[in-house]
Amino acid sequence: MNLLDTTKIAIKAIFTNKVRSCLTMLGVIIGVSSVVMLISLGKGLEAFVVQSFEDLGANNIFISPGNLFDEEGGFGSMQDMAVGAITISFTKTDVRQLQRLRQYVEKVAYWNAQGDTLRFLSNSEQGMVIGTNANYNQVLITNLEKGRWFTHSENESGERVVVLGYKIAQDLFGEVDPIRKKIRIGTVTFNVVGVAEEKGGAGFGGPSLDDYTYIPFETYSRIYDTSRVIEMGIRANPEVEIDNAIQAIEENMLQRYKDDEFSVYDQGEILSVIQDILGMITIALGGIAAISLLVGGIGIMNIMLVSVTERTKEIGLRKALGATPNQILIQFLIEAAFLSILGGLIGLGIAFGGSLAIQNVFPAKITTEAVLLAFGVSTAVGLIFGAAPARKASRLSPIEALRYE
Amino acid sequence: MKKKADKSQTQPILELINVCKDYQLGTQTIKALDNINFSIQEGQFTSIIGPSGSGKSTFLQVASILAEPSKGEIKLKGKDVTQYNEVERARLRNKEIGFVFQQFNLLARTSALDNVALPLVYAGVDLIQRHQEAEKILTKFGLGDRLKNKPNELSGGQQQRVAIARALINNPSILFVDEPTGNLDSKSGQEVENILKQLHQEGRTIILVTHEPKLAKIAQKIISLEDGKIIGKHTPPYKDLKN
C-alpha cells in the first residue's frame, strides 16, 4: 500500500463527514488567520515607521536635551520629557558653534515649538507652531506642495511669514489657495508663503506632522519672547562617517554642557530602538494568536479521538484484511494533518483578504516568514495533536475492534 | 482463481497443535480453547459447530491468525506462524486468509467495487488493476450492475455476496466464514449456502463456523466444540447430528 492510497483513504474520510471536518478546521482557520494577520500588522507598522524615518532624510543627527537613551539602549528619559522634568535647552550660540564644524556638519536646523490658535477669516484651528530657520526643510526633508520656504534673510529680519502643514492648510482654507493670504497666529498676522506636502502619520503620540505650522525662528522669539532652542537637527557631511560626526558634535557640546544634559543621536539609533519595540509587540501579538492555534489543535485531537472510536469497527476490518499498525497510524495522521493544513490554507486566504481590506486604514504586510510559519505550525499542530488518536487507532486489536458495536 | 485440491498431498494446509487460548476475566482465567488439535487439507470444507460460548469464535480468531494462541502451535502450509509479529501476521492474513463475517462488515459510504478491492489496497496492487479484479469477481457473483452501489443500497444477500467477493479477491489459501446466514432471510441464506457449495466444488479450502447444524452439514466434515474442547468429529451423512 503506498502513501497515495493512504492519503486517498484519509481524504475520503474527511469528505464523508463534511460538517464535522469544517468545524474541526475552524479552530485552525481562526488560529492561522489571526497569527498571520497580527504578524502582518506588526510587520506593516514596522515597515511604515522605517519608511517614515527614511523620508525624514538620511545622514541626520539630532541633538536633544537630557539623556535620551539609557544604558540598555531604550528610551531613557522619555518619561522625564513627558512630565517636563527636562529644563535644559540650547541657544543660538550652540548653533553657531556647531556650524563651525564644517568638516562634519553641512547644515544645522534648530527649532522651538508651541501650540497656538491659527485663524483665517472666521475659521480657527489649533496647531503646533514651529519656530525654525531656513535650513529646516532641507534637514528634515519637508517638500512643499505650493509656494516656497522662508529665506535666511526673512528669518534674520523676523518677517511674519508662515509655511502651513498640509492638513492645517486644508482645515483653514478648504478650496481657497492659501498662498499670499493672511492668517493670524494668536494675535499676530502672518503672510502664507508655502504649504507643505502631505506627510501622513503622526509623531509618537504627538500631533500630526500635517498640523505643523512653520515660522522663522527670530519671529517666533519675538512673539513668544524666548530665544530657547529645544532641539537641533544636523545634516552631516555625506563624506564623513556619521559616527565620527556624532563624536565631533558631542565633543563640541561637552565644552558647554555636562554629559547627561544632552543627547546626540542619529536616526539609526532611534530606528533600532523602535524596531526592537515593534519586534517585541509583533512577537507578543503573534504569541496571543498562537494560543488560538493551540486551541484549534486540541479541537483536532478531540475530533480525531471521536473519529477513531466511531470507526473502531472499520479499523478492525482493515487490520483483519491486512493493514499493518503503521498503515493505520499513517492513515489517521494524514487525516489530521490534512484537516490542519487545509484549515491553515483557508486561514491564510482569510489573512490575505483581511490585510488587503485594511490596507487603506492600516499598513499590513504579509511576509513570507509569516506564511511559512503559519503553514509549518498548522502542519505541526495536525501531526502533534493527531498523533495520540492515530496511535490509539493503530494499537486497536483487530478482534476487539471487529467486535465493537 | 481456482485452487484444485491435490488429493495426493498429505501435509495439511492449516494445523493447530495443542492450542490453548485463555482470557483473563477479572481474577478468573477463562479457557476459551483447551488443547485443540485440528488440521485441514487443501480443498477441504470443514464446519465448526457448537452452542454459544463453546469457543467457536475464539477458534476462528486463532486459526485465522487474528488472535495469538496462549499455548500451542499454528502451522500454515507447514510453516510455524505462531511467533509471527503483528506486521507479519497482517501480511499473512492479507495473502492467505479470506474472511466472511456474519455482519458483512462492509465499509459504509464506499462502493461495492471499492469494498471488494480493499484487501488489494494492502497488497500494494495499483488502482486500475484493483478495480479490474474487483469488477471481475463481482460480476461472477451476479453483481456486475451494482459496482457503484454503496452497502446501504444493497439487500442483505447482495451485501453478503459483496463480502464473499472481498474475501476471495486475494485468492486466499483458506476462507473463514463466520455465521454467514445469521443476518439473512431464508432465501438469501440459501443463496449464500449455494455459493459456499460452489466454492468448495471449485477447490476452495473453507472453514465455516456456525451454530446451525443444517448449514454446517454442507461441509465434508463437522467438528463440535463445547467449553473450548473438541467433543466430536462427524462425517456425512451426519446421522449423529440433530438439525
What does the alpha-carbon distance between residue B32 and residue A256 come to, in Å, rounded to a whole number?
Answer: 103
Q: B45-49 and B205-210 as β-strands: parallel, antiparallel, unpaired? A: parallel
Check A399 against B118: CB less than 8 A apart: no
Residue with cell 475530533: A303
- Residue B212 C-alpha, separation from nearest chain A C-alpha, in angstroms: 21
How many separate domains does chain A show?
2
Instruction: Give A-chain residues touching B110 at CB under 8 angstroms.
Output: 12
pLDDT of B220 > 80? The answer is yes
Distances (CA, A) of B207 to B36, B65, B104: 15, 13, 17
Note the Cα B187 to chain centre separation in Å.
21
Q: CA of B237 to nearest chain A CA: how many angstroms apart?
A: 34
Distance CA A128, CA A214 (A): 8
User: Which of A318, A321, A324 is most worth mutating to test chain B (most B CB atoms within 10 A of its CB)?
Assistant: A321
**Which residue is closest to B97 within chain A, CA to CA?**
A321
Residue B201's pLDDT is 95
CA atoms within 13 A on the CB side of A53: 20
Task: Decide: helix, strand or coil at residue B187.
Answer: helix
Q: Are B101 and B178 in contact (CB under 8 A)?
A: yes
C-alpha cell at B71: 499455548
Maximal CA-CA distance, chain A? 102
Percentage of residues in chain A having pLDDT higher than 90: 35
What pLDDT sits at residue A206? 52
* Domain membership of residue B196 as a residue range: 42-63+92-234
Domain extent at residue A239? 89-256
pLDDT digits (tens, 9 = 90+) for B124-137: 999 999 999 999 99
Question: Which residue from B66, B95, B105 is facing A313, i.e. has the nearest CB?
Answer: B105
Nearest by CB to residue B105, choosing from A2, A16, A402, is A402
Looking at the domain assignment, is residue A78 inside a domain?
no
Q: Do both A170 and A214 map to the same domain? A: yes
Size of interface A-B (CB pairs under 8 A): 56
Nearest Cα of chain B lies from the Cα of A5 at a distance, in angstroms, of 7
B191 belongs to a structural domain:
yes
Hey, are the CB atoms on B122 and A320 less than 8 Å from each other?
A: no
**Residue B226 covered by a domain:** yes
Q: Please give the pLDDT value at position A86.
A: 59
Residues in chain A, total: 405
Asked if A126 and A215 sit in the same domain, the reply is: yes
8 Å CB contact between A171 and A123:
yes
Torsion of CA A47, A50, A51, A56, to 10 degrees: 170
| Nearest CB to A314; choose among B91, B93, B107 | B107
Are both A103 and A136 inside the same structural domain?
yes
SS3 A19: helix
Contact between A344 and A379 under an 8 Å Cβ cutoff? The reply is yes
Looking at the fold, whether A129 and A232 belong to one and the same domain comes out as: yes
pLDDT of residue A58: 65
Which of B136, B157, B158 lies closest to B146 in space, CA to CA? B158
pTM (predicted TM-score): 0.70
Is residue B146 classed as helix, strand or coil in its secondary structure? coil
Length of chain B counted residue by residue: 243
Is B86 in contact with A323 (CB distance < 8 Å)?
A: no
Query: From CA A394, how far away is CA A392, in angstroms rounded?
Result: 6
Quick check: is A268 in a domain? no
pLDDT in tens, chain A (405 residues): 577 888 888 888 888 888 888 888 888 898 888 888 888 888 888 888 877 777 666 678 989 888 776 555 555 555 555 545 557 789 999 999 999 998 999 999 999 999 999 999 999 998 899 999 999 988 887 788 899 999 999 999 999 999 999 999 999 999 899 999 999 999 999 999 999 988 765 444 456 778 899 999 999 999 999 999 999 999 988 888 888 999 999 999 999 998 888 889 887 777 888 888 888 888 888 888 888 888 888 888 888 888 888 889 899 999 999 999 999 999 889 888 888 888 989 998 998 898 888 877 777 777 888 788 877 888 888 888 889 999 999 998 888 888 777
Cβ-Cβ contacts under 8 Å, A324 against chain B: 86-87, 90-91, 122
Of A229, A256, A283, the one marking the end of a domain is A256
- List beta partners, residue B39: B15
Q: Cα angle vertex A202, ends A197, A206, to 5°?
A: 125
Strand intervals (E) in chain B? 14-25, 28-40, 45-49, 71-76, 79-80, 97-100, 174-178, 205-210, 221-226, 229-234
Identify the contact set of chain A against chain B, taking CB-CB distances under 8 A. Answer: 1-2, 5, 9, 12, 16, 313-314, 317-327, 397-399, 402
pLDDT attached to residue A1? 55
- pLDDT tens figures, B77-117: 999 999 999 999 999 999 999 999 988 999 988 999 999 99
Q: What is the mean pLDDT of residues B165-185?
A: 94
Q: Is B17 within the bounds of a domain?
A: no
**Inter-residue contact A106 to A79 (CB < 8 Å):** no
Site of grid cell 494445523: B15
Q: Do A402 and B101 touch (CB under 8 A)?
A: yes
Query: What total of structural domains would you count in chain B?
Result: 1
Look up the ipTM and state it: 0.92
Written as nine digits, the cell of B15 is: 494445523
Contact B109 A324 (CB under 8 A): no
Is the domain of A110 the same as that of A251? yes
- Chain A nearest CA to B107, separation (Å): 7
Q: Are residues A195 and A335 in the same domain?
A: no
Give the rounded distance of the alpha carbon of B83 from its chain centre: 22
At A388, give phi and psi (nearest 5°).
Answer: -65, -50
The confidence band for B8, taking pLDDT boundaries of 50, 70 and 90, is: very low
Question: Are A168 and A314 in a shared domain?
Answer: no
Instruction: Mark whether A99 and A168 lie in a shared domain.
Output: yes
Amino acid at site A400: E
Do A243 and A284 fall into the same domain?
Answer: no
CA gap A40, A48 in Å, rounded? 12
Q: Which residues of A252-282 are buried (b: 16+ CB within 10 A; e: fewer)?
A: bbeeebeeebbbbbbbebbbebbeeebeeeb
* Alpha-carbon distance A399 to nearest alpha carbon in chain B (angstroms): 7
* Angle B76-B115-A24 from CA coordinates, rounded to 5°: 115
Q: Give the chain A residue whose CA is nearest to the CA of B127.
A: A5
The tens digit of pLDDT for each residue in B45-87 reads 999 999 988 999 999 999 999 999 999 999 999 999 999 999 9
Asked if A402 and B91 come within 8 Å (Cβ–Cβ), the reply is: no
Instruction: Give the residue from chain B lying closest to A398, CA to CA.
Output: B66
Listed residues A256, A286, A306: the one ending a domain: A256
DSSP count for chain A of H helices, then E strands: 14, 10
Residues A138 and A227 in one domain: yes
**CATH for B132:** 3.40.50.300
Q: Which of A323, A399, A402 sits opposite B122 (nearest CB)?
A: A323
- On whether the CB atoms of residues A163 and A217 are closer than 8 A, the answer is no
B219 part of a folded domain: yes
* Residue found by looking up cell 498676522 in the block: A189
CA distance A315 to chain B (A): 10
Nearest CA in chain B to A317: B105
Claim to verify: residue A202 and residue A103 sit in the same structural domain: yes
Phi/psi region, residue A121 (left: phi>0; alpha: psi -120 to 50; beta: rest), is left
**Which of B65, B86, B126, B179 to mutate against chain A (most A CBs within 10 Å)?**
B86
SS3 B192: helix
Domain check: are A216 and A114 in the same one? yes
Contacts of residue A19, Cβ cutoff 8 Å, sequence gap at least 6: none
Domain boundary among A192, A226, A256: A256
Instruction: Tell the residue number behind the cell numbers 443500497, with chain if given.
Output: B153
First to last CA, chain A: 28
